[in-house]
Each structure stands twice: as structure tokens, then as C-alpha cells.
Amino acid sequence: ITMIVASIIGLINGLITSKTFIPSFITTLGMAMFIRGIMLAVSSGFIISYSGDTLIPRILSTDIWSVISSSTIMYLVLIAFSSVMLNRTRFGSWVIATGADEEAARQVGVSVSKIKLICFLLAGLMAGLAGMVSLGRFKIADVLMGQGMELEAIAAVVIGGTLLRGGRGSIIGVFLGVLTMGMIRSGLILLGVPAFWYRSFVGVILVLVAIINSYIMRIKR
């Protein structure tokens, strides 16, 4: 049910973006705020403890041989599968073409709207899966958990080599970008830097990578 609902939300985001032509960032940010507001109203702002079936949470968060969690293995499998899908399939080529130049993609027969809808649906699906993993690990549902990580996600993706205007990027690059952000967070903690300074570093990194992105785009032109 969680995966279905998350996929439907992603599909709605895709429909809004493709039909109104507004930036996808605005659509997804607005939808996140809308749903978070509903959840805050439903939960009255309280953290809800999970007391349902334990099978799925165990599958998603159990440590295997006390060395690596099942969610980490699942994450690596998804990275490998997504990388192959993006780089070795027709669908992946269509995604890159749509991101690079929508009009040119249409002229060669790519259904741009359909590609966008599928990408938004997959994004919703992955967000739902991430939420389930979080629930399995912490056994609580907290509406405010992950708040403010939107910019961290953007920074990680751009650090991984994805252009903000689309048309260039890789799953492996994003994976390395996520690792980089995680190492920065861990490094600051090990150095004894107060945790709230991490947000400042994220802001600086985001501006720097945006400047680099802009420079790369000018070179391409």
C-alpha cells in the first residue's frame, strides 16, 4: 500500500509538471509541503510509534552477519540495476535525450510526456521505499524526519556530475556524490564541529557546484 500511494503521488507530480510546464522542482517541493502539512494535521505533530506487522521492517532493516544491513544490499542492487537501465537500454537513452533537449527528443519520436511520467512515478516509488526502510530501522513515523534534506539531495546529485539543466549524469556519479556528502557529515562530527554547521557547508557546496555547472554549460555552448 505504501509503495502504491508513493507511486501515485509521483505520478500526480508528473502530470502537474507535464501539463502545466512548471519546473519539476516547484512541483515536488510544493507537493512535499502539502503532504507534510496534511500529515502534521493528522498526527497533531506527534511522533507515531509503529506497532504493526514486523516481517517487512525486519526484511528491510536487518543486519546480515552483523556486518551489513539488508537495506544497504538492496541499495547497491538498485544502483546496479538503475545504472544498467540508464546506460544500456532504450528507455535510458530516451531519459537522457528528454533531459538534454525536449524538442529534439520529440522530433526523433520520443514521447517526452510519457518519459517524464515514468520518471516521476519511479521517483515516488523510490521515496516510498526509502520511507519504509526508515520505518523499519527506527520503528517510528515522524513527519519532520528528513525535513530540509531536499537541498542535500540536489547537492549530492550535482556533485556526482549531473547537470542542473539535464542531459548529462550517471547513477554511479550520484552514488559517489551521496558518499561524499555522507563523508563530509561524518568528518565534521569527528572533528567536533557542531552538527548545525553542516547545513552551512551544504549551502556553500550547493552554490559552488551550481557555479561549476554554469561554467560547464558555457563551455558546451
pLDDT in 10s for each residue of the chain, 221 residues: 889 999 999 999 999 998 888 888 899 989 999 999 998 998 888 888 888 777 877 788 777 767 788 888 899 999 999 999 999 999 999 999 998 888 889 998 899 999 999 999 999 999 999 888 888 888 888 888 888 788 888 888 888 888 877 778 889 989 998 888 888 888 887 888 777 777 788 788 778 877 877 777 676 65
Cα(94)–Cα(86) distance, integer angstroms: 9
pLDDT of residue 124: 94
Looking at residue 90, what is its pLDDT? 93
Report which DSSP code applies to 70: H
- Closest alpha carbon to 74 in 82, 66, 84, 85: 82
E-strand spans in the chain? 48-49, 63-64, 68-69, 140-141
Q: Quick one: pLDDT at residue 206?
A: 77
Q: What is the pLDDT of residue 92?
A: 92
Angle CA 21–22–24, to nearest 5: 110
Q: What is the pLDDT of residue 93?
A: 92
Strand ranges inside 36-151, DSSP E: 48-49, 63-64, 68-69, 140-141
Tell the burial category of 6 from Cβ atoms under 10 Å away from its Cβ (0-12, 13-18, 19+): buried
The span from the CA of 113 to the CA of 16, in Å, is 11
pLDDT of residue 77: 93
- Cα(52)–Cα(16) distance, rounded to whole angstroms? 34
Instruction: Establish how many alpha carbons lie within 13 A of residue 116's alpha carbon, considering only the half-sphere containing its beta carbon.
Output: 25
- Sign for the CA dihedral angle at 78, 81, 85, 86 comes to positive
At residue 141, the pLDDT reads 85
Instruction: Check residue 185 and give its pLDDT.
Output: 81
Residues near 131 by beta carbon (within 8 Å), at least 6 away in sequence: 2, 6
